[in-house]
């Protein structure tokens, strides 16, 4: 599979995969934090914000501007400032789906040549579109793995109890 096709396939699947992870969980389970790392809810809000303020914007700038400067985003501070773990999950899921659809649409109109377009990534130096897409898919994979691990732990009984209709 060509690089861009693989990226499009992977990035477009993420919103549904996230929906699958959160399905049927209680508010308490969504906010459960067994470690200092993100809860399920925090992972979802993080993915949403990193798309909207990060990758969706970065991709748009790189495809429309000549050597733009891309701002760095501190995901950990955003989570604290915006109190992710107390926010409703539904709007975040919807925002992620919407933002991701815009990016996927944009990528469908991207050529192999566009992959060489460059930007200055704050704190990381020059970056091309190909590398940005690698970072983006890696970022998705990491958070999806964390989300699935949290879900497995909850199903195994490690977190707050499953809702009665789930436990039966
Ligand atoms: Ni992250």
pLDDT > 70 fraction of the chain, expressed in percent and rounded: 95
Entry pTM: 0.92
pLDDT at 16: 98
pLDDT at 159: 85
Mean pLDDT of the chain: 94
pLDDT at residue 160 greater than cutoff 90: no
- Rounded CA-CA distance 119/67 in Å is 4
Number of domains in the chain: 1
pLDDT digits (tens, 9 = 90+) for 112-130: 999 999 999 998 899 999 9
| Inter-axis angle of helices 89-108 and 56-64, nearest 10 | 20
Question: Once rounded to an integer, what is the mean pLDDT over residues 89-110?
Answer: 98
What token pair was written down for 79? 């989570």
pLDDT at residue 164 greater than cutoff 70: no
The verdict on residue 168 lying in a domain is: no
Instruction: Return the DSSP state at 156.
Output: T
Length of the chain equals 168
Looking at residue 58, which CATH number applies to its domain? 1.20.120.450
The verdict on residue 163 lying in a domain is: no
Question: Once rounded to an integer, what is the mean pLDDT over residues 19-39?
Answer: 95
The verdict on residue 166 lying in a domain is: no
CA of 168 to the centre of ligand 1 (A): 34
CA of 26 to the centre of ligand 1 (A): 23
CA of 88 to the centre of ligand 1 (A): 19
CA of 89 to the centre of ligand 1 (A): 17
CA of 2 to the centre of ligand 1 (A): 26
What's the domain range around 124?
3-157
pLDDT digits (tens, 9 = 90+) for 55-66: 999 999 999 999
pLDDT > 90 fraction of the chain, expressed in percent and rounded: 88
pLDDT at 112: 95
The verdict on residue 67 lying in a domain is: yes
The verdict on residue 164 lying in a domain is: no
pLDDT at 71: 92
pLDDT at residue 141 greater than cutoff 90: yes
Neighbours of 160 (CB within 10 A): 15
- Rounded CA-CA distance 163/110 in Å is 45
């Amino acid at each position: 599979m060509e690089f861009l096709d693989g990226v499009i396939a992977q990035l477009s699947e993420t919103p549904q995969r996230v929906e699958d992870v959160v399905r049927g969980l209680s508010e308490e389970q969504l906010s459960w934090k067994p470690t200092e790392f993100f809860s399920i809810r925090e992972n979802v809000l993080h993915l949403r914000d990193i798309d909207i303020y990060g990758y969706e914007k970065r991709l748009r700038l790189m495809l429309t501007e000549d050597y733009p400067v891309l701002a760095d985003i501190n995901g950990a501070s955003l989570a604290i400032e915006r109190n992710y773990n107390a926010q409703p999950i539904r709007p975040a899921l919807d925002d992620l789906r919407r933002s991701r659809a815009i990016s996927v649409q944009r990528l469908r109109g991207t050529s192999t040549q566009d992959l060489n377009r460059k930007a200055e990534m704050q704190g990381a130096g020059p970056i091309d579109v190909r590398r940005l897409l690698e970072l983006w898919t890696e970022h998705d994979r990491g958070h999806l793995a964390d989300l699935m691990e949290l879900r497995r732990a909850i199903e195994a009984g490690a977190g707050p109890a499953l809702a009665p209709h789930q436990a039966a």
